[in-house]
DNA sequence: CTGTTAGCGCCTTCAG
DNA sequence: CTGAAGGCGCTAACAG
């Protein structure tokens, strides 16, 4: 214990933490291992002592290493008495099986899966990660996280890091122009699953949203409500999703016989607040749109800002649901992000069982949630 | 390649993926490894072939294993010519150094850090994870993710999984009643950093928010604006943060000479929409509060729903910023979530350098962002 | 039911 | 500058 150290803390930001229960304060504890089962044997002097190994436990328990191994591997034939003796020794030594060594022995593949996302602060990716993690945890697989920060050039390097850790599979949000560099890995038995956008030049499963027809659904709903002049605003980020959604918008307007839809498309790709500006542009037209569709949540924010007090006049539907959209009565094209991650995980588990099956292109469903803003009729 | 397999896909949800660039369609490619540098040597028949090892590369390059090792470890003395030969052989065999084996040799500790969060779908935790990942990535450390799903009983099991993977350090959002079970690990050299709430009965660094005085700041601002009847709504989740924020609220009211603040505290812990109900309760009082403070983003959503059209009458400030709060003119007590993760990572890196230093209790700053809702004066 | 042998892929000695 | 042996911690394969 380093309790005696806790009193000589210098600085400004640092204070001793104070536990809320049991012992009045950690700093006040006696310098043994208070609260623990007091195994002793652990001299407080040596902070860095090497961990106990199988052999150590075996020695203490008076058995062979293999027997200890059997106890910790679970399903082996070990006499109850022996098992107890081994467990006692293991607890005394704080033994923990080393998964690194175990994995090495098992063909050098770890029990992990790598997830490569783009901009790590984008909550969409994290929801996907969450869905994945939940499913993988059920199967005792842990998830390693890495981010490309949406830099195409870093994808291969990031992936490499994960491969060197011998992940059993890779789930990636493709950002590089080409994923063919992964073909060799796939052949070597590391499945690749793409999320949000498909891979290019690589045979891989893909889990994407129903972008195109999902957007078309929303536009159709507006058309049904009497709208003809419908704006579309999107800041292109992920090219694939963006293209698909734009295509869906056009599909629906074409169906409706609207031929000049291009006039109401605004697809800026500059920084700053292009979406807000785009929305203002549209609203300033001599014949402004009576409804606006946003292609992603970033664009939604811009449009909502631009609409301001005119929120009750112009219909609006945005792709991607968001916190409080419910409370604010904003209609959206929504989907289950967790489900996306779950599907990725499930596909991945299937792949591990059968690496040779054909690649699947899975679309996660989307649906329009009517909350008011999307049901406003055209002004005229 | 399994291209020929792609045509006989059965089902409903599955379609062949179509690349956007270069080759018109993966399914139409010749069955070689199109697009690659065509290293050949990799028979498409054997999907599961074992990976090349250091020894394989050495054999092909006509050198010893150690030489290859030196090349891949970077800073060794290797003749340029030898190096080239080794690299050529490595590329041909698609060699990748096995970090598992490497870590095993290096004292059995991996180059990873484990992050244990609570509810994995809570974006707060993910923002923290994001901040951590960015900082750790700079140091070549990867992050392993695990979640307790806010189940106190699962914490130890989850932590154990990570420890078995020999993470170099643990960052956890404590949820169990007691973290003393980690004391042994700390002594064995695995630092533990707590995020959002401090550990109990364990000497560990903690990175938390400036919960108490941050909340007090907001209440003081309301008081300054003339408010005396100020409600506080919070659904208790994380006990520590909740207690601290409530205490801050009381601090400020006490300072202002308000003695009956308890009447305006609503701290439900049932499921459903307790926060919204709480807000309605407050508004239905004979002398309703002229301002409401929410203790977390969940509570904020409830209050905003409850306020509805009366948003312009009653002042409101919520703890935690959220998407579009800006666009909606909602004042909040905000902080930099990424910074929290960054601080955790930095502390952790320090700890790895100096495992014996005193534990630090670090508070990440909070500040009130005035956007309108919090600046509404009292009605009377 | 338990122990022995050998080796997973790599790297630290220690010699050339 | 390069190579040969041995072992990190664990576990298949084979005995007993």
Cβ–Cβ contact A126 with B under 8 A: yes
Q: Read off the tokens for A176.
A: 């590089």
Q: Which of B97, B180, B327 sits opposite A305 (nearest CB)?
A: B327
In this complex, the nucleotide whose C1' atom is nearest to the CA atom of residue A77 is C1
A49 touches strand D (CB under 7 A): no
Q: Read off the tokens for B102.
A: 């490497």
Closest-CA residue to B191 (of B364, B362, B346): B346
H or E element at residue A246 = helix A239-255
Size of the A and B interface in Cβ pairs below 8 Å = 312
* Angstrom distance (rounded) from CA A242 to CA B211: 40
- The band of B276, judged by pLDDT with boundaries at 50, 70 and 90, is confident
Cβ–Cβ contact B310 with A under 8 A: no
* B292: β partners: B231, B316
Q: Is A101 exposed, middle or buried (0-12, 13-18, 19+ CB in 10 A)?
A: middle
Helix, strand, coil tally for chain B in percent (to 5): 45, 15, 40
The gap between B165 CA and C13 C1' (Å) is 27
In this predicted structure, what is the pLDDT of residue B67? 87
Q: Read off the tokens for A266.
A: 């605004």
Tell me, yes or no, if the two domains A20-97 and A211-334 fold the same way.
Answer: no
In this predicted structure, what is the pLDDT of residue B331? 97
* Angstrom distance (rounded) from CA A247 to CA A219: 11
Question: A162 to each of A116, A174, A320, B84, B98, how far by Cα in Å?
Answer: 9, 15, 30, 25, 10
A127 CB neighbours in chain B (<8 A) are 121, 123
Sign of the dihedral defined by the CA atoms of residues B168, B172, B176, B178, in that order: positive
Measure in Å the smallest separation between the Cα of B230 and chain A Cα atoms.
22
Backbone angle region of A320, left / alpha / beta, with phi > 0 → left and psi within -120 to 50 → alpha: left
A55 touches strand C (CB under 7 A): no
Q: Which residue has the tokens 């540098």?
A: B37
CA–centroid distance for A161 within its chain: 18
H or E element at residue B363 = strand B361-364
H or E element at residue B158 = helix B155-164
CA neighbours within 13 Å on the CB side: how many for B29? 24
Q: Is B243 exposed, middle or buried (0-12, 13-18, 19+ CB in 10 A)?
A: middle
Q: Read off the tokens for A311.
A: 């929120």
B21 contacts A177? CB cut-off 8 A: yes
The gap between B70 CA and C14 C1' (Å) is 16
- The band of B235, judged by pLDDT with boundaries at 50, 70 and 90, is confident
* Angstrom distance (rounded) from CA A344 to CA A350: 10
In this predicted structure, what is the pLDDT of residue A271? 59
Cβ–Cβ contact A187 with B under 8 A: yes
Q: Which residue has the tokens 């350090």?
A: B169
Backbone angle region of A325, left / alpha / beta, with phi > 0 → left and psi within -120 to 50 → alpha: alpha
Q: How many CB atoms lie within 10 A of CB B334?
A: 18
Contact A190, A167 (CB under 8 A): yes
Domain boundaries, chain A: 20-97, 112-209+337-363, 211-334
Q: How many CB atoms lie within 10 A of CB A94?
A: 15
Q: Which of residues 58-77 of B touch A (CB under 8 A)?
A: none
In this predicted structure, what is the pLDDT of residue B225? 95
The gap between A96 CA and C15 C1' (Å) is 37
Q: Which residues 258 to 297 of B reach strand C, CB within 7 A?
A: none
Q: Read off the tokens for B91.
A: 């590329």
Q: How many residues in chain B?
A: 380
Mean pLDDT taken over chain B = 83
A102 touches strand D (CB under 7 A): yes
Q: Read off the tokens for A323.
A: 């916190």
* Angstrom distance (rounded) from CA B328 to CA A96: 52
* Angstrom distance (rounded) from CA B83 to CA B71: 6
- B211-334: CATH topology is Rossmann fold (3.40.50)
Torsion of CA B150, A208, A231, A334, to 10 degrees: -30
Q: Which of A21, A94, A112 sits opposite B177 (nearest CB)?
A: A21
Backbone angle region of B149, left / alpha / beta, with phi > 0 → left and psi within -120 to 50 → alpha: left
Closest-CA residue to B142 (of A146, A33, A176, A313): A146
* Angstrom distance (rounded) from CA B132 to CA B143: 8
A106 touches strand C (CB under 7 A): no
DSSP for B115-133 reads EEESSTT-HHHHHHHHHHH
CATH no., domain A20-97: 1.10.260.40
Contact A316, A291 (CB under 8 A): yes
- Phi/psi for A66 (5° steps) reads -60, -35
Closest-CA residue to A219 (of A257, A274, A173): A257
Measure in Å the smallest separation between the Cα of A316 and chain B Cα atoms.
15
Q: Whole-prediction pTM value?
A: 0.83
Sign of the dihedral defined by the CA atoms of residues B183, B148, A102, B344, in that order: negative
> Among residues of chain B, what percentage have pLDDT more than 70?
84
B54 touches strand C (CB under 7 A): yes
Cβ–Cβ contact B304 with A under 8 A: yes
* Angstrom distance (rounded) from CA B102 to CA B256: 62
* DSSP assignment letter at A359: P
Q: How many CB atoms lie within 10 A of CB A31?
A: 10
What is the per-residue pLDDT across B366-377, written as a single tens digit (0 to 9) for each?
Answer: 999 999 999 999
Query: Chain B interface, mutation test: which of A1, A12, A14, most B Cβ atoms within 10 Å?
Result: A14
Q: Is the predicted pLDDT of residue B160 greater than 70, yes or no?
A: yes
> Among residues of chain B, what percentage have pLDDT more than 90?
54
Query: Chain B interface, mutation test: which of A90, A142, A204, A310, most B Cβ atoms within 10 Å?
Result: A142
In this predicted structure, what is the pLDDT of residue A76? 64
Return per-residue pLDDT of chain A as tens, 380 residues: 222 222 223 333 333 333 333 333 333 333 333 332 322 222 222 344 578 898 889 888 888 888 889 898 876 687 888 888 889 999 988 899 999 999 999 888 999 999 999 998 888 898 999 999 999 999 999 999 999 998 999 999 999 999 999 999 999 999 999 999 999 888 888 999 999 999 999 989 999 999 999 999 999 999 999 999 999 999 776 689 999 999 999 999 999 999 888 889 988 765 556 888 889 989 999 999 999 999 998 889 889 989 888 888 999 999 999 877 887 899 999 999 999 999 999 999 999 988 888 999 999 999 999 999 999 999 86
The gap between A65 CA and C7 C1' (Å) is 16
Q: Which of A51, A108, A356 sits opposite B47 (nearest CB)?
A: A356
Q: Read off the tokens for A249.
A: 């918008």
In this predicted structure, what is the pLDDT of residue A164? 95
Cβ–Cβ contact A162 with B under 8 A: yes
A101 touches strand C (CB under 7 A): yes
Q: How many angstroms separate the most distant Cα atoms in chain A?
A: 90
H or E element at residue A88 = helix A80-92
Q: Which residue has the tokens 């909502």?
A: A304
A49 contacts B199? CB cut-off 8 A: no
* Angstrom distance (rounded) from CA B315 to CA B331: 9
Edge to edge, what strands does the sheet with B315-319 contain?
Answer: B265-266, B230-233, B291-294, B315-319, B331-335, B366-369
* B361: β partners: B206
Q: Is the predicted pLDDT of residue B267 greater than 90, yes or no?
A: no
A79 touches strand C (CB under 7 A): yes
* Angstrom distance (rounded) from CA A210 to CA A248: 10
The gap between B105 CA and D7 C1' (Å) is 9
Closest-CA residue to B231 (of B318, B321, B335, B334): B318
Question: Which class is domain A112-209+337-363?
Answer: alpha beta
Q: How many CB atoms lie within 10 A of CB A310?
A: 10
In this predicted structure, what is the pLDDT of residue A265? 92
Q: How many CB atoms lie within 10 A of CB A240?
A: 17
Query: Chain B interface, mutation test: which of A93, A165, A307, A341, most B Cβ atoms within 10 Å?
Result: A165
Residue B341: CB partners within 8 Å, gap ≥ 6?
Answer: B127, B128, B129, B130, B131, B132, B133, B134, B135, B195
In this predicted structure, what is the pLDDT of residue B272? 58
Residue closest to sugar C1' of D8 by CA: B105
Q: How many CB atoms lie within 10 A of CB A323?
A: 17
Residue closest to sugar C1' of D11 by CA: A105
Q: Read off the tokens for B95.
A: 């060699």
Q: How many CB atoms lie within 10 A of CB A247?
A: 15
Contact B128, A118 (CB under 8 A): no
Residue A307: CB partners within 8 Å, gap ≥ 6?
Answer: A279, A283, A292, A314, A316
Cβ–Cβ contact A221 with B under 8 A: no
B104 touches strand D (CB under 7 A): yes
The gap between A64 CA and D16 C1' (Å) is 14
B16 CB neighbours in chain A (<8 A) are 359, 361
* Angstrom distance (rounded) from CA A207 to CA A364: 7
Question: A27 to each of A16, A30, B192, B306, how far by Cα in Å?
Answer: 8, 8, 17, 46
Cβ–Cβ contact A346 with B under 8 A: no
Q: Read off the tokens for B299.
A: 């509570």
B51 touches strand C (CB under 7 A): yes
């Amino acid at each position: 214990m380093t309790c005696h150290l806790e009193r000589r803390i210098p600085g400004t930001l640092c204070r001793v933490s104070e536990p809320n229960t049991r012992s009045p304060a950690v700093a006040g504890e006696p310098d043994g291992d208070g609260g623990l089962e007091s195994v002793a044997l652990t001299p407080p002097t040596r902070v860095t002592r090497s961990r106990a190994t199988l052999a150590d436990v075996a020695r203490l328990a008076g058995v062979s290493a293999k027997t200890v191994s059997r106890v910790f591997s679970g399903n082996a034939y070990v006499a109850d008495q022996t098992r107890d003796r081994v467990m006692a020794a293991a607890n005394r030594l704080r033994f923990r099986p080393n998964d690194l060594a175990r994995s090495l022995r098992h063909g050098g593949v770890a029990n992990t899966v790598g997830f490569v996302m783009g901009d790590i602060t984008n909550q969409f990716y994290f929801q996907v990660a969450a869905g994945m993690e939940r499913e993988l945890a059920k199967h005792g697989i842990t998830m390693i996280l890495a981010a490309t920060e949406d830099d195409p050039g870093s994808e291969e390097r990031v992936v490499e890091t994960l491969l060197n850790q011998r992940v059993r599979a890779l789930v990636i949000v493709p950002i590089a122009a080409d994923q063919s560099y992964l073909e060799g890995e796939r052949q070597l038995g590391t499945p690749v699953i793409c999320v949000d956008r498909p891979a290019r030049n690589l045979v891989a499963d893909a889990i994407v949203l129903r972008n195109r027809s999902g957007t078309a659904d929303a536009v159709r709903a507006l058309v049904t409500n009497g709208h003809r002049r419908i704006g579309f605003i999107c800041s292109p980020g992920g090219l694939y999703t963006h293209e698909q959604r734009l295509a869906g918008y056009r599909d629906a307007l074409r169906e409706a016989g609207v031929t000049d839809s291009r006039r109401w498309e605004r697809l800026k790709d500059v920084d700053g607040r292009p979406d807000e500006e785009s929305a203002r542009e549209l609203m300033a037209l001599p014949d402004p749109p009576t409804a606006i569709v946003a292609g992603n949540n970033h664009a939604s924010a811009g449009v909502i800002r631009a609409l301001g007090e005119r929120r009750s006049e112009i219909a609006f539907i945005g792709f991607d649901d968001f916190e409080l959209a419910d409370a604010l009565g904003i209609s959206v094209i929504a989907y289950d992000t967790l489900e996306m991650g779950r599907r990725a995980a499930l596909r991945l588990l299937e792949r591990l069982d059968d690496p040779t099956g054909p690649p699947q292109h899975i679309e996660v469903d989307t649906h329009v949630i009517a909350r008011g803003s999307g049901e406003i009729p055209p002004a005229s």
